[in-house]
Chain A
Amino acid sequence: MNARFLPLAGFALVFALLGFGIWWSGRHDPREVPSPLINKPAPTFSLPTLDDPSKKIGNQDLAGQPYLLNVFASWCFACRDEHPILMQEGKRLGVKLVGFNYKDEPADAKRWIAQFGDPYDLIIADLPGDVAIDFGVTGAPETFLVDANGVIRYKYISPITPEIIATELLPRIALMKQGAPR
């Protein structure tokens, strides 16, 4: 090997490494916290519903069929972008859509729902935010897909888009309905 080309080879190597870094960070959000809860049972919880705080909803109430848990709050700006998409596509998902009202005053949340519409089958409220920590929630909006056995199969951070619904959610929901969760 001609030693004169060694520096060039070194340069090409560094160039390739940095190029890979740019390519990689374009496809991955480095701020996104990976969830260790994927393919693990959803944390145990029992939370009051937004409409009736005396009524509690827990894992066993939701077991038996898959559901989509959508973390939202009236203080969350990005949730306003996401909301119309849930209004349009929510019913077409074919799973129960559970609203998870995160660290929100019930009155504010109810006003928000009254103003923008209610895409949810039911809404549970976590005012202290303890259950959210068990779910590894870092903010709103975040969305969890839970299968009929109560196992978290997918998590998406930031507002859901029609593209995410088509490419990530619907195929997984279809698999769950076939009874072959991956």
Chain B
Amino acid sequence: MISCALRPSSSRRKPGPILLFGKKIKMDPGFRRDDGATLVARFLLATLLALSTFAHAIEPLPFKDHAEELRFQALTKQLRCLVCQNESLADSQAPLAADLRHDVFEQMQAGKSDEEIKRWLTARYSDFVLYDPPLHAATWLLWFGPALALIAGAGAIFVIVRKRARLATSTGATPARAADAEDDW
């Protein structure tokens, strides 16, 4: 994010005298003056240049139209980078992610559907590459576990409440009182 914001400013910067704390610093190409100020200026320049190459790490792809670009963005956001695993393929600057983005792009050009591209990736990298886990035997508990826990909890509360209500009636309370006991719960 930061690198993206930095890119335009660094590329739009016009060549001219470098200002450091309001002072002009001469950069004489014939004579290397390694005084402190020049060193700082060189360091700043090097940092800026380093950041600008960093911003170019996510390479532009020749999309046919905006719709195709949107489809590409949507698809790569659902895919996990195998190197920096908490980044999506859309955001990652790992070389492998760049290669995979290229493969995804090429397959889109070849007319493959999103599902086909995902299948191509999972055949190599397993479901790990998908942020959204598909439903099958191994992920059954993952998908329905929370609902099961909810049902079990509701069942437990139901049993306890009924037990208390019965306890209240058996000690001589009227059904109305039993209802009060439920409210207290």
Contacts and interface: CB of A to CB of B under 8 A. Distances in A.
Given A33-B125, A34-B128, A36-B122, A138 B96 contact: yes
A36 B82 contact: no
B160 interface: yes
Interface in B63-114: 82-83, 85, 95-96, 99-100, 103
30 contacts: A3-B160, A3-B163, A6-B160, A33-B82, A33-B125, A33-B128, A34-B126, A34-B128, A35-B126, A36-B122, A36-B123, A36-B125, A36-B126, A37-B124, A129-B96, A129-B99, A133-B96, A133-B99, A133-B100, A133-B124, A134-B124, A135-B124, A136-B124, A136-B125, A136-B126, A138-B83, A138-B96, A138-B125, A139-B83, A139-B96
A182 interface: no
Interface of B: 82-83, 85, 95-96, 99-100, 103, 122-126, 128-129, 156, 160, 163
Interface residues of B, dominant DSSP = helix
Nearest to A33: B128
A103 interface: yes
A92 interface: no
A31 interface: yes
Contacts of B128: 33-34
A135 B100 CA distance: 13
Nearest to B164: A3
A110 to B, nearest CB: 21
B139 to A, nearest CB: 13
B145 to A, nearest CB: 11
B156 to A, nearest CB: 8
A138 B128 CA distance: 12
A75 to B, nearest CB: 10
A37 B126 CA distance: 9
A31 B128 CA distance: 9
B122 to A, nearest CB: 7
Interface string A116-156: 00000000000011100111101100000000000000000
Nearest to B163: A3
B162 to A, nearest CB: 12
Nearest to B86: A31
B45 to A, nearest CB: 27
Contacts of A130: 99
A129 B156 CA distance: 56
By CB atoms of chain A within 10 A, which of B83, B100, B125 has the most? B125
Contacts of B163: 3
By CB atoms of chain B within 10 A, which of A3, A130, A138 has the most? A138
Contacts of B160: 3, 6
Contact of A103 (B85, B95, B129, B156): B95
Contacts of A139: 82-83, 96
By CB atoms of chain A within 10 A, which of B85, B122, B160, B163 has the most? B85
